[in-house]
Amino acid sequence: MRFVIQGTSFSMTPAEVLDATRDAHPQPIDGRHKYFVTLHERRYPIKQVLRLVTGLPAAGFGAQDAHRVLSRLGFRIDERPAGAERPDAARVVHGRRGAPSPAQAVGDAAGDYRSDGLRLLVVFETDEDGWQVASCPTLPGCHSQGRTREEALDSIREAIRGYLASMREHDVPLPRSTEFHVVEVRA
C-alpha cells in the first residue's frame, strides 16, 4: 500500500509491519497512548509501529496517520483498556436537562452546543501528539480535534451539526439529554 505522511510517500505491506516489530519491545501502557495494535501476541501503541516501519520520528506524524495506515493494511486497532487510564482522567461526567450545564459542572472542558434546545456534553483529552481531542459521548463516534481547546471546540461543534443533520436526514430521533454527574477521584 502507498501512503503519504507529511509530504513523504511510503510503500508498506503487512509483512513489513510484522518484520519491523518482530524484535521490538512495545512501549508500556502508561495512559499516554489511546490506540494499540496486537502483533506477535504483544500490544504496541500504533504510533510506535508506524515509527518502526517508516523511520520517522514520533513528532513527524499523528496518531490519526498511524490509525489510518494500519487500518488500511488490515490490522485491528484497539483502544487502551479501561484500567490503563491516566490518573488525571479519573473523572466521569454525565448530563441532564434542567440540571446545571456541563459547562458549569466541569468548567471550560465542556461544550454547550444547542440545536432545537439540545445540550450536549463535550469531553476533552490531550492525545500523545499534544492535540486536543473533543468527543461527544451522547453521539457515538462523534469526535474531532484541534491544536488548541478552542479549535477542538469549534471543530466538534461542526461535527455535531453534521451528525445531527445526518440523524434528521435518516429520520433517526435526536438524542435526549441525559443525567450527568461529576465524580472527582484523588490520584
Dump pLDDT digits (tens) for 158-178.
998 888 888 888 888 888 765
Contact between 67 and 79 (Cβ < 8 Å): no
Q: Measuring CA to CA, how many Å separate 169 from each of 69, 159, 174?
A: 31, 15, 11
Compute how many other C-beta atoms are within 10 angstroms of the C-beta atom of residue 58: 16
pLDDT for residue 178: 59
Q: What is the pLDDT of residue 18?
A: 96
Rounded CA-CA distance 53/48 in Å is: 9
Q: Which domains does the chain have, with CATH numbers?
A: 2-84 (no CATH), 87-184 (3.30.160.250)
What lies within 8 Å, CB to CB, of 6 at 6+ separation is 56, 60, 61
With a cut of 70, list the residues of the chain below it in pLDDT.
Answer: 29-31, 81-117, 177-181
Q: How many helices (H) and strands (E) would you count in the chain?
A: 5, 12
- Rounded CA separation 187/170 (Å): 44
